[in-house]
Amino acid sequence: MTHTNPAVVAVTGESPRRFVYDFEHDHGVEPMGLKALLGGKGANLAEMTSVLGLPVPHGFTIATTACRAYLRHGWPLSLDHEIDEAITRLEAKMKRHFGDPVDPLLVSVRSGAQFSMPGMMDTVLNLGLNDASVAALVARTGDARFAYDSYARFIAMYGRIVLGIDAAHFDEHLHEAMDRAGVVAEGNLSAETNAALAAVYRDVVERHSGRAFPQEPRTQLREAIEAIFSSWNGGRARAFRDREGIDHELGTAANVQAMVFGNRDDSSGTGVAFTRNPSTGEPTAYGDFMVNAQGEDVVAGTSVTRPLSDLDYLFPDVANQLREVFARLEAHFRDMCDIEFTVERGRLWMLQTRPGMRTGAAALRMAVDMVNDSAIHLSRAEAISRITGDHLDQVLHPTFARTLTVAPLATGLAASPGAAVGRAYFDAPSAIDAAARGERVVLVRAETSPDDVAGMLASEGILTARGGLVSHAAVVARGWGKPAVVGVNSLLVFAHEAHVADVVIHEGDWISLDGTSGHVVLGEVELTSSTAPPQLDVILRWADEIRAGHLGVRANADTAADARAARARGAQGIGLCRTEHMFLGPDRLPIVRAMILADTDEEYHDALERLLDAQRADFVAILEAMDALPVTVRLLDPPLHEFLPDLDALLVQEATQGLSEDDTRLLAAARYWHEENPMLGVRGVRLGVLKPGLYAMQVRALLEAAQLRLAAGGDPRVEIMIPLTISAPELALARSWVMQAAEFVAHNYLTPLHFSIGTMIETPRAALVAHEIAAHADFFSFGTNDLTQMTYGFSRDDVEGKLMAPYLALGLLEHNPFDVLDESGVAELIRWGISRGRSSNPRLKVGVCGEHGGDRASIATLYDCGVDYVSCSPYRIPVARLAAAQAVLRRADSSPH
């Protein structure tokens, strides 16, 4: 049986075996449904052409299915014929012929994946030129400068992208030519200089590729398409997809489009624009423009650009037309659009559009504004769906802690907000190596290229000497929430150092940058948290409304300060309060050790009483901070050796210095409680079995604290959690300890106190026998950290330092399972545990308190498993609130209507 893509068949009415689609092809009622087939760029070009009627140069799209076929099996047999037919149709529309030595049709070839990947793959312009047709172009246009400029650009671009020649081999000749001519822009070189450059570039191609530059246009086209397809698996593209969570199997489309020329003359130009400010979200157009240039000049960051507003006096008619186009695109796509355009001799052409990457602050403002914009009228659900966890992280980015007391070393363009402090490194491999050593890194480059992506990802911030606000560095940094300052004209960057006037920044020197102001400072500047924009509260309130009654969000909080911070961020209670953290303070640790070292019952109970007083005070403060919200307190979990000095250190001290009487007792206790594998040893409820009265003391402290809150007019909501139970008898025994302690407290207080008793499910066995354990539990809380360790047989502390990186690189694991919940293994145990638990206890409440409770993808999986709430660190609460709402929306979207 042949399996086809029904969505493709339904929308196109054709077999998905077809590979090539003209922009004007009848794409059906909703062309945007074809993004998976045509890629985002191809689908949007079709939309602009066939629906909006915008001025788009004619062309065609080679579908992602062709790319996938090529990457798996080589060039598809039918593809040459389909491309030939498409070229013939394009020739008829343009009234020129591809490869014609008299009046040649020239094209661009651009990649375009389903999901936006700006700058990650490749573009080839001016394709079709050769030694004969460039002369014809001179004759037809009467402009030798323009013709040879286009040819030289094409040879260099072809050499870099198709033949894989290092760009530096072309750039050195270009810069020498510009220096000799005394010009600062490539478009100002003379016809003679450009013709000479074209000849030099042909020599570079032959010298570094071992073959002559191809003169046959159809060979050029075939090889350019193959390069576009191959770029899908390039290192920078894979790194970007890893960062963005994009499937590596999707492939890219290739768009072949008739050339229009921004480098035609001084009445021409090219630009990249956003319909709204991608840094702030302000509803004003934003972008860069260059006169007498081609699109790559703007985004490469190698040339000085002009602000988009200069169009108003350079090309006023174009500026007015462009504003109208912006409004139509925003109203149609209902989003902020990133647009590439060209002006050829005063005529505007739209080359592409896509949803624009934006900062967190901009994303929040746009989402709220577009809900209230009558032309767009975004729904609240759509607004929520457009915000990512990264966006929320960004608005809480640090800034410089105080006003600078020294003058900045330099100032550039504020390309991506937030502040960063790190050691300067001047190439991507050095930045990656330094980050792997644990250093904070600022990547300093003359300008970034897609080859720098992995280094940018490893860096705290990015600093470039060249480039504008839509350069590669700026766009990628904004999308990833990396602070960036670009276009620092006073900065000269060399292989291992940079200069600003007479100041030298050496590799490894500390530098600080502020992507909000554009300031660069030599040395370390103290950072502080930023103030979130007011739209954050609006978005999170909408998110809370969507998830209400579906999925709660609590905090992991061990102190009153943590609890207050969590509540301020919107936590609906505490899902995990780890009592062991209360024992580690300098005033508590001696009491814990006294309990461990006690030789008599009297000493043991005396230590417990002292701990009782300390714990009671802690619990009073936490219950006050979380008044009227549930507080889940986990009784002592870690093995007792964690409260003792290190055994090896004591043995060394014994051998070299001798031990005091107290240290001798500590050594004996450390030996007794030492375990070969403490994660699987005496911890959790097992401690309660071996140390009678320990859990009873903790329960008594907690319930007495709750009574004190009641007496003060509070509303304490206590949940007592037993860690690491593996059987029903174990939990039944622990429950009896809790009830005995509760009865003791009840004798001393008149007010009834309601509380619940539950357990953590942290082992595969507990999940498998959940129906038995649930008979003694009011709630379950899945401890996904330990459950992941025990399901995989991984020791987290060991494998993350050694095994995880090669396993991820080799594709043996799709994700680090400690970061993203394992859907096929650990999540199945959770589903099983919830289903079986509720089969014997239908009222069973279920939460999750591992670190996965703050991860967006894991929250969606956990919601599908049937949990009632997730719990995460206080600082991940806003992300979890958003992700919980998005999980609810995704399920609603996928449910049959």
How many C-beta atoms lie closer than 10 Å to residue 812's C-beta?
10
Whether the CB-CB separation of 291 and 269 falls below 8 Å is answered with yes
Residue 483: φ, ψ to 5°? -60, 140
Q: How far apart are CA 138 and CA 146, in angstroms?
A: 8
Residue 686: φ, ψ to 5°? -65, -30
Segments of 308-427 assigned E as strands: 337-344, 347-355, 398-400, 410-411, 413-416, 419-425
β-pair type (461-464, 410-411): unpaired
Tokens encoding 406: 């020294």
Task: Please count the CA atoms within 13 angstroms of the CA of 109 that sit on its side-chain side.
Answer: 28
Q: Which residues share a beta bridge with 20? A: 62
Query: 3-class DSSP state for residue 845?
Result: strand
DSSP 776: G
Tokens encoding 219: 């060979």
- Continuous segment of H or E residues that includes residue 112: strand 107-113
Q: How far apart are CA 872 and CA 849, in angstroms?
A: 6
Q: How far apart are CA 238 and CA 251, in angstroms?
A: 11
Query: 3-class DSSP state for residue 553?
Result: strand
- Continuous segment of H or E residues that includes residue 26: none
Question: In sequence order, what are the residues at sequence separation of 6 or more whose Cβ sits closer than 8 angstroms to the Cβ of residue 315?
Answer: 267, 269, 343, 346
Start-to-end CA span in the chain (Å) = 29
Choose among 556, 558, 573, 575: nearest CA to 721: 575
Question: In sequence order, what are the residues at sequence separation of 6 or more whose Cβ sits closer than 8 angstroms to the Cβ of residue 431?
Answer: 425, 441, 443, 455, 456, 458, 459
Catalytic residue among 849, 852, 865, 872: 849
Whether the CB-CB separation of 482 and 463 falls below 8 Å is answered with no
Query: 3-class DSSP state for residue 283?
Result: coil
The three-point CA angle 825-831-835 to 5° equals: 150
Catalytic residue among 97, 332, 472, 776: 472
Q: What is the 3-state secondary structure (H, E, C) of 462-525?
A: EEECCCCCCCHHHHHHHHHCCCEEECCCCEEECCCEEEECCEEEECCCEEEEECCCCEEEECCC
Question: In sequence order, what are the residues at sequence separation of 6 or more whose Cβ sits closer than 8 angstroms to the Cβ of residue 541?
Answer: none
Whether the CB-CB separation of 818 and 785 falls below 8 Å is answered with yes
Tokens encoding 326: 């912006």
Task: Please count the CA atoms within 13 angstroms of the CA of 46 that sit on its side-chain side.
Answer: 29
Q: How far apart are CA 741 and CA 68, in angstroms?
A: 65
Amino acid occupying residue 777: A
Q: Is 472 a catalytic residue?
A: yes
Q: What is the 3-state secondary structure (H, E, C) of 532-547?
A: CCCHHHHHHHHHHHHH
Q: Is 849 a catalytic residue?
A: yes
Question: In sequence order, what are the residues at sequence separation of 6 or more whose Cβ sits closer than 8 angstroms to the Cβ of residue 19?
Answer: 62, 63, 65, 66, 69, 76, 78, 79, 82
List active site positions: 472, 849
